[in-house]
Structure 1
Amino acid sequence: MNTSGTMAHRSRKQLFLLSSSLALIATVTFTPLAHAQFAPVGSRRMGFAMINDALYIQGGFDTDASNQFISLDLSTSWSTTSPSWTQLKDGQSTTHLALAPISAASNGGTKGSLLAIGGMSTPVFFSSFDINSGQWQNMTGVKAPYTYLEGHAAVSDPNTGLVYMIGGYGANNTYNQLSVYDPKAKSMASQSSATAATSLTDVAAVWASARNSVLTFGGTRAPPANTNGLGSGDLSEYVPSSKTWKTMVRKTIETTMGFFSFVRGDGLGGMSVSVCVCVCVWCV
C-alpha cells in the first residue's frame, strides 16, 4: 500500500477545500451590501426653508412631535416618486415652528445656517443649525420674545439679514404681530404685539425682492377669536424701510383685445364678437 501517495492526495484535497473555503469567505466578506434609500416620516406643521439651492424641513407632527431634520437638493434632478432626501442631525422635538435661512454674509457661518424659531413644547425658543459643521446649537443667550409661539411664519431679508417673524400666538392669549431678529447682533431688533381681533396664525409669507418687502396672505385669526379663514384674496405687505403695513386691494381690469365678424352665406345675417379679457391684480 502506497501510504505516501495516499497522504499526498489527501493533503492536496484538504488544501483545495481550505482554498475554496477562504475564497468563499472572501466573497461573503467583501461583497458590498446594498443600502435602502432613506425615506423620511411624513409629517405636518413642520418648519421649512430654502438656502443654497436646498430645501430643509425640521420637526412637525406625525403621531407626536417630531425631531426629524431632512434636506432635499434642488440643484439636481430626482424622481418625483423617490426624491433623494438626506437625513441630517435631529433638531428639537417640536411642531408649529418656523425655519428661516441665515446667509454667510449675515453671520450665518461659512455656508450659512438655519434658524429654528418657536413651536409647541420647545425647550429653547431659538436654535441654529450650521450647514458647514452639520451641528445644532441652542441659542440660550438670546432673549426670546415669547415663552412660546406657534402658527407664525418667518422670512429673511437678503439685503440686511434681518429675520421677520409674522403672526402666531402663545401662552396667556399673547399674539405676535411682527418681531424682528438680527442675526449679526444675535438679538431681537424689535417686537410688536397684536390683539385677538388683529391676530394672525397659519399665515403664509414670502420676501418680495422686487419690492423689498414682506408679503403675507391667507391664515386665520388666532383662538379664541373667530378662526375662520381670511381668504386667499387677503394680501398684505410690510415695508421695512417705512415700517408700515399696507393692504393690497384686488381689482379686476377688463380690456377689449379685439373683435371678429362673419356673415352667413345666404345673406340672412351674421355676427360680430368682441374678445374681453379680465385680469385680477393687487394694488397698494
Structure 2
Amino acid sequence: MARHTRSLTSTVHLLSHISTLLLIVSSLTSPAHAQSFQPAVQTGSSSAFVEGQVLYILGGTPPSGILYGTPTTTQAFSIDLSVPWNASSPVYKKLSDGPSTWSRPSTLSSDNKNWFNLVNGTGYVYNVDSAAWSTVIPSNNNINTAYGLSAVTDPSTGLIYIPGGYLASKGDPTMLKIDLTKKSTESVAMSDLFGDYTAAWSASANSLILYTESADPLNTYNPSKGWSHISPKGDVPAPRTDACFIPAYGGKKMVLFGGYSRAQQASLNDVYVLDVGSMRWTRGPDAPATAKRDASACGFSSDYLVAWGGAVTGSDQGTLSGGTVLVYDVKNMAWSDGYDSTGSPSNPDDPRRKAAVIGGSVLGVLTLIVLVLGGVYLYKTKWQREPRTGGEKNPGKKGFFSSILSKHSGQKPRREMSSKDTYYV
C-alpha cells in the first residue's frame, strides 16, 4: 500500500508540474492585455508600421479645434500587431518621447530598425534596439518644412523618398531622396506639382504610388523608369486629403480610408482597396457614421486595417465618438470590433509563423506527455487494484491500451471535424 501511495503521489506531482508548464506556454501564446499606459488621443500623428509586428505613432495635436498654433505633442508609442486585441483595448507600449510634431513625413528603414521622421526640416530616427532618438539629417535650406508631406522607403535600396520634400534653386518643390546610411539628401525631379497628397510604397510593383487630391488621383514613381500617370478603373474614390493610404499584402494592394472632403466640408468614413496589378478600385462598406475621421495614424497587418486617432472636421466636427481605434477586415470586407493577429501574413518569414510553429510544437509535445502519463497512471491504478495470484499479473485481463484498441477494432477512424488647406506648393 505504501509503495502504491508513493507512486500515486509522484504521478500526481509530475502531472501538476506539467500542467503548470502548459499554463505558462498558453499564457505566452495568449498574453494578458492589462496595461497602465493609455495614449492621449491626437490627430495628425506621424506613423509607420511593420506587418505582423508593430504600428509606431508619434506626436499630433488634440482632435478638437485644430488650428495653426495649437500645441503639438512629443508623445510616442506603439500598438502591438503580433497579438490579438479588442478595438476598445489595443496593446499599447510607451516609447521615449520624440520631437514635437504634427502631420509630418514618417517611414521605417528597410531593416525596420530605425523609424525616420522629418520634422521642421530636421531628420530624426528612433532606433528600435536602443529605444532612443537621434538626429541623422540636419536642417538645411533645401528641405521643405511644409505640413502634409509623406515619406516612403524603397526596401531594395533603403532609400527614402518624400514627394515635394526638396526645394530647388527657384523654390519649386521636387522630390527629396534621403540615404540614411550616408546621411545625405538630394533632389529627384517631379513631373508635376501635385498639391495635397499621400504616398505609399508597393514592393510588388517596385514603385512609389502617389494618391493626390484630384479627380484623377494616381501617379507612380519607379526609380528606373521615373514618373507615370495611372488611369484607374472600378469605384474611383472622390477627391480628399488627409486620408489613410497604406500598402497591404506586400504592396499588392493599397487601402484608402477616410480623409477630408473639401467639396463636402466634412470628414469621410468610406473605405476602398486598390488592386495594384490591375489598378482597379473596389469600395467596401462604409464605417459607421460615428467613425468619420481624417488625419488618422494607420497600419495594416493580418488582413486588417488599423486606424488610430484622427479628427472629425467640418460641419459635423466633434470628438471621435466611434472609438479611438477602428479595425477593418480587408479580406472579408467588414468592419470588426477587434484585431486578429492570425490572419494572412504577406511575408513567409513573418515572425508570427515562426512563433506559431514553436509555440504549437511545445504545447503539442507537453500535451502528449500529459496524455501518455495520464494513460500510464490509469493503467497502473487499474492493474494494482486487481487481485494477484501466483505472480501472474491479472490473468485473463487486458491491459488499458489493448482494451481500448480492442474496443474500437474493426471501426473506421473518424476524421477530424474539420492638416486641411495646407499645400507644399
Same fold (TM over 0.5): yes
Q: Cα offset for 1:167?
A: 3.2
Larger Rg: 1
1:248 matched to 2:261? no
Partner of 1:49: 48
Q: Cα offset for 1:138?
A: 2.0
The structure whose residues are more often strand, as a share, is 1
Partner of 1:113: 114
The structure whose residues are more often helix, as a share, is 2
1:235 matched to 2:218? yes
Q: Cα offset for 1:142?
A: 6.8
Residues in 1 aligned to 2:151 and 2:132: alpha-carbon distance in whole angstroms: 21
Letter in 1 for 2:227: W
Residues in 2 aligned to 1:36 and 1:250: alpha-carbon distance in whole angstroms: 44
Partner of 1:187: 184
Contact persistence 1:177–1:193 (CA under 8 A): yes
Contact persistence 1:152–1:169 (CA under 8 A): no
Letter in 1 for 2:175: L
**1:93-172 correspondence runs (5 A):** 93-104=100-111, 112-118=113-119, 122=120, 125-139=122-136, 141=138, 143=140, 145-146=142-143, 148-167=145-164
Q: Cα offset for 1:36?
A: 5.6
Contact persistence 1:168–1:200 (CA under 8 A): no
CA distances 1:92-114 after superposition (whole Å, capped 9, x unpaired):
1121211110134xxxxxx6111
Q: Secondary structure at the match of 2:85?
A: coil
Letter in 1 for 2:114: S
Residues in 1 aligned to 2:113 and 2:165: alpha-carbon distance in whole angstroms: 26
Q: Cα offset for 1:189?
A: 3.6
Give the TM-score normalised by the residue count of structure 1: 0.61
Distance 1:46 1:178, change over 3 A: same
CA distances 1:134-184 after superposition (whole Å, capped 9, x unpaired):
0001235575632623210111011000001023698xx955331110112
Q: Cα offset for 1:193?
A: 6.8
Letter in 2 for 1:112: K
Partner of 1:225: none
Q: Secondary structure at the match of 1:249?
A: coil
Contact persistence 1:168–1:177 (CA under 8 A): yes
**1:24-103 correspondence runs (5 A):** 37-51=36-50, 53-62=53-62, 64-103=71-110
Q: Cα offset for 1:239?
A: 1.1
Give the TM-score normalised by the residue count of structure 2: 0.42
Residues in 2 aligned to 1:215 and 1:83: alpha-carbon distance in whole angstroms: 30
Contact persistence 1:49–1:57 (CA under 8 A): yes
Contact persistence 2:178–2:185 (CA under 8 A): yes
CA distances 1:229-282 after superposition (whole Å, capped 9, x unpaired):
x14x4111111112x211101346xxxxxxxxxxxxxxxxxxxxxxxxxxx953
Letter in 2 for 1:162: L
Distance 1:66 1:175, change over 3 A: farther
Partner of 1:200: 195
Letter in 1 for 2:44: R
CA distances 1:48-92 after superposition (whole Å, capped 9, x unpaired):
101372100111111521111110111111111111111111111
Letter in 2 for 1:115: F
Q: Secondary structure at the match of 2:130?
A: coil
Distance 1:178 1:169, change over 3 A: closer
Residues in 2 aligned to 1:177 and 1:96: alpha-carbon distance in whole angstroms: 19
Contact persistence 1:151–1:168 (CA under 8 A): no
Contact persistence 1:43–1:61 (CA under 8 A): yes
Partner of 1:209: 203
Residues in 2 aligned to 1:160 and 1:245: alpha-carbon distance in whole angstroms: 18
Letter in 1 for 2:115: L
Unaligned runs of 5+ in 1: 1-34, 105-110, 220-229, 253-279
CA distances 1:171-208 after superposition (whole Å, capped 9, x unpaired):
xx95533111011211114344788xx2422x221111
Contact persistence 2:108–2:116 (CA under 8 A): yes
User: Of the two structures, which has the highest relative contact order with CA contacts closer than 8 Å and spacing of 6 or more?
Assistant: 2
Distance 1:175 1:168, change over 3 A: farther
Q: Secondary structure at the match of 1:206?
A: strand
Moved more, 49-58 or 206-215: 49-58
Contact persistence 1:125–1:144 (CA under 8 A): no
Contact persistence 1:98–1:116 (CA under 8 A): yes
